[in-house]
Amino acid sequence: MRTRRRFFRHDDKIFLFLVPSFIGLAVFYLVPFGTSIYYSLIDNAVSRQFVGLANLIETWNNQAFQLAVRNTLVFMGANIPLSMGLSLLLALAFKPMKIKTRRILLVFFLLPLVIPSGSMIFFWERFVAINGVFNRLFFPGVPVDWLNSPFAMMFIVIIFLWRNIGFNVILFQAGLDFIPKDYYEFASIEGAGKFRQFFMVTLTYLGPTFLLVFIMSVVNSFKVFREIYLLAGAYPNQEIYLLQHFLNNQFAALNYQRMASASFFIFGFVLVLVFVLYFVQQRQDYTV
C-alpha cells in the first residue's frame, strides 16, 4: 500500500511539470481552434446569430477559395513527392560517406533553414525578376516576368525544395541509421540483390520515418506563404494564389467567418490525410 501511495505521489509531481505545457497548448492551440469553430457558425462578430453550416457552404462555393484550394493541392502534389524523393536519394548517397564528410554536406543543405526570409527573398527576387540573373543567362533577348507567368508555380516549388530539403535529409538519415545491418546481411544470404534489399528492407523499415517526413512536409507547405508574400504580395498571380493568401486577405477584410470556415476545411483535410497514412503505416508488415 505504501509503495502504491508513493507511486501516485511521484506521478502527481510529474504531472505538475506538465501543467505549463498543457496551459500553453490550451492558450495557443485549443482556445483559438474553438474560437475559429465558433466564428464559423455565426453570421458576424456583432449580432452573433447562429447560422449553422451557411458560412462553410458559402466559403466552399467562393471562387477565390476554390482557386486557392486548387493551387495549394497542385503545390503540395508537386513539392511533397519531390522533397521526399530527393531527400531520400541524398540520404542514401550520404550513408556510405565518412562521418566528417557527411556532417559537412548536411550543414551545407541546412543553411537555407537558418537564412532569414528577407535575405533569402532578396536573392530569389534578383534571380527571377525581369532583369534578374535567370533572364540574363537564358532569355537575354525577351525577358520574362516569371512570377506572373504560367511557370510561377515551378519557381515556388524550387524555392520550397531549396529551403526544406535539408531537414528531410536529416530525418531520413536518422531512419537509415536505425535499420540494423543484420537485416541486409540476412536478405543477402537469402539471395536478395541491392535493388530488392532497397524495397524489402530499406523502404519497409523507413515506414515511420516516411510518415514523419510527410507530416513535416505538409506543415512546411503551409509555411511557404511568407516567401510568396514577400515575393509577389498579397494578391499574386492566380497561378500561385494559395490558401494562405485567402486566409490573409480575409483577415485583412475582417471577414472572420469566412477565414474560420476556410481554416476548418484545412484542419479537416490535414487531419484525415494524416490519420489515413498513420493507419496504413500501422498495418505495415515489418518482417524480412
Q: Where do the structural domains in the chain lie, given as residue ranges?
A: 57-282
Q: Record the pTM.
A: 0.80
CA 35 to CA 201: how far, in whole Å?
Answer: 46
**What is residue 7's predicted lDDT score, i.e. its pLDDT?**
45
What pLDDT is attached to residue 9?
Answer: 54
CATH 1.10.3720.10 for domain 57-282? yes
Amino acid at 104: I
Residue 151 CB coordination number (10 Å): 13
- Return the pLDDT at 67: 92
pLDDT for the residue 11: 59
Alpha helix stretches (DSSP H) within the chain: 2-25, 31-39, 54-60, 63-94, 99-114, 117-128, 133-138, 152-177, 181-189, 194-197, 203-205, 207-221, 225-232, 243-252, 256-282
Q: Residue 8: its pLDDT value, please?
A: 47
Distance (Å, whole) CA 33 – CA 47 = 21
Q: Which pLDDT score, from 0 to 100, does residue 66 have? A: 92
End-to-end CA distance of the chain: 46
In the chain, which stretches have pLDDT less than 50? 1, 3-4, 7-8, 288
Distance of alpha carbon 46 from alpha carbon 38, whole angstroms: 13
- Kindly report, residue by residue over 100-121, the tens digit of the pLDDT: 888 888 888 888 888 777 777 8
State the cell numbers at 271.
487531419
